[in-house]
Amino acid sequence: MPPQTLSHIVSLLAVLVSFVLVLPSPATGERWCAHNPKDIIFRRLGTKTPYRHVQNKDVRSIATVDGTGCSVSKIWGLFRHGTRNPSKSIIDHMLGTLPELQRDIVEHGQMCRDQLELFEQWQPRIKAEEAKLLVREGGNELYQLGQRMRKRFGSHLPERYDGNAFRFKFTKTERAEHSARNFTRGLFGRDEPIDYPEALSRDPVLRFYKGCEKWKRQVKENPYSYREMDRFGSSKEMRSVIEKLSKRIGTFVSPEEAHAIYQTCAFETAWSERNISPWCLLFDKESISTMEYNEDLKYYWIDGYGYELTYRQACSAFGDMFASLDDNGRANFTFYFTHSGTLLKSIAFLNLYKDNEPLTAQHYRYKRKWRVSHIDAFGSNLYFVLYKCPNGTHSIALYHQERLTHIPGCPDDALLCSYDHFKQLYAERMQQCDLNTMCSEPHVPSLEKDEL
C-alpha cells in the first residue's frame, strides 16, 4: 500500500477509535487466556499464512486422473516463493513498537500467568537488513513441494535435469531464486546444474504488473481503491478488536499497532512449525477473523476482482502458458517462481474463488470464497497439466495448492477439461492481450505558465 494511503487510514482510524474506546483499570477485569491458539490462527493469517496450513499431502491425486487412460504430456505452473522475512516497515515495528508493548503487557497486561511468561521471554529475532529474505521454513516448503511433485508425476518426469525438457525461471529477488533452487533440489533429489534464464525485475510473464504504469496509477496508488478497507477500519468489528487488544495489553493500542501485532503473529508463526508467536495469543477467533477480512478487502481490490485491469493484464502470463502447451519445440515442464501479486491476479483471470457480489466492508458476516489465507499462502501454486488421451485428443487439469481444481467454464462433472474447449474460453482475451496498449495512458501535455 502506498505510504500516504496507509498514513491516511491510520490517522482516520486512530481518531475514530479514540472516541469509542474506554480502557479499564489494569487492576480490574478478567484475565484473558488464549485457548487452543493453533485453532484460532489456523488459515487466518492472510498472505502470510504458512504453506503447511493449506498444502495437499495426498500424492495419490494423480491416480484418479490416470483412471481416464490419459497420460501427462506437459506441465506449466506458477509458484509463489516460500515463507520470507517481513518488509522493513514491519521489522521496524518488531524492533521498536512491539518491545514497548511487550513492557506494557508484562507490567499491566490482563493475561494468564503462563502466557505473560511467554511475553517476558520474547525477543525480536530479525534485523532490518534481512527484510524479505527467504527463511529456512520457506526453503523447506518449496523443497517438499518439489518432492511431492516428483511423487505425483514421477513416472512422467525425467529423473535428471534436461534443459530441453525443463524450464525453470525466477524473478530478480533472493526469495524467488532460493525458492526455485530448493524446489529443484526436491524435484530431482539432488543439486543439479540448472540453466536459469536471466532474472528480470519487471518480467512481463512472471511479474507483469511491475511494468503496468496504468494499473499502478489507477489502482495501486489510487486512494479510492482502499475505500472498503477504510470503511471496515471504522466498523464496530474493528473497533472491538482495538478494544480487546488494548484491554489485554493494558494500554491503548492504535490501529497501526494492531496491524503490526497481526503481522508479527503471522510471520513468527510461519517461521516455525513448532512454535506459535506469543503475539497470536492476544487474539480470539473473532478478532483474528476480523483482521483476516481486512486483509481480504485489501487484496480483493488491489490484486483481485476489484478492477478489471488488475486481472486482465495476467493474460501476459497465460499467453506464455498457451505457447508452452501448444509448441512442441518448447520445454514440456515449465515452472515459474514468482510472488503473491502474480498468483492473485492469475486466480482472478481464471474466475476462481469469485463471489457473487464484490467484497465490501459490510460483507464481513457473509460466507466468502475470496480468502487469501486459503488461496495465497506462502508457497502457493497454480499449475496446469496437459494430458494426451487414448483417442488422440488433449485434456487439461488445473491444480491449485496441489489439489485438482475445477476450471470455471468447463463441465462441472469432469476432472479433465477438453483442451480445445479450454482454449476457446480465453480466445477473445488472448487476442486482445497487448500490454503496451492495456497499460499505457494517453499523454496529457502540461501547460506552460504562459498558457495558464
Domains of the chain in start order, with CATH, are 38-437 (3.40.50.1240)
Give 111's strand partners. Answer: 32
Report residue 248's pLDDT band, with 50, 70 and 90 as the boundaries. Answer: very high
Span 147-154, average pLDDT: 94
Q: 295 by DSSP, 3-state: which?
A: helix
Half-sphere exposure of 271 (CA within 13 A, CB side): 18
> Has residue 307 got a pLDDT over 90?
yes
Report residue 256's pLDDT band, with 50, 70 and 90 as the boundaries. Answer: very high
Lowest-confidence segment of 16-25, 86-95, 240-249 by average pLDDT: 16-25
Report residue 150's pLDDT band, with 50, 70 and 90 as the boundaries. Answer: very high
Span 130-147, average pLDDT: 98
Top mean pLDDT of 11-20, 22-31, 152-161 is at 152-161
Report residue 9's pLDDT band, with 50, 70 and 90 as the boundaries. Answer: very low
Distance CA(39)–CA(61), nearest Å, equals: 27
Distance CA(267)–CA(137), nearest Å, equals: 11
Span 354-365, average pLDDT: 96
pTM of the model: 0.91
Report residue 442's pLDDT band, with 50, 70 and 90 as the boundaries. Answer: low
Report residue 443's pLDDT band, with 50, 70 and 90 as the boundaries. Answer: low
Residue where the block lists cell 511468561: 117
Give 397's strand partners. Answer: 385
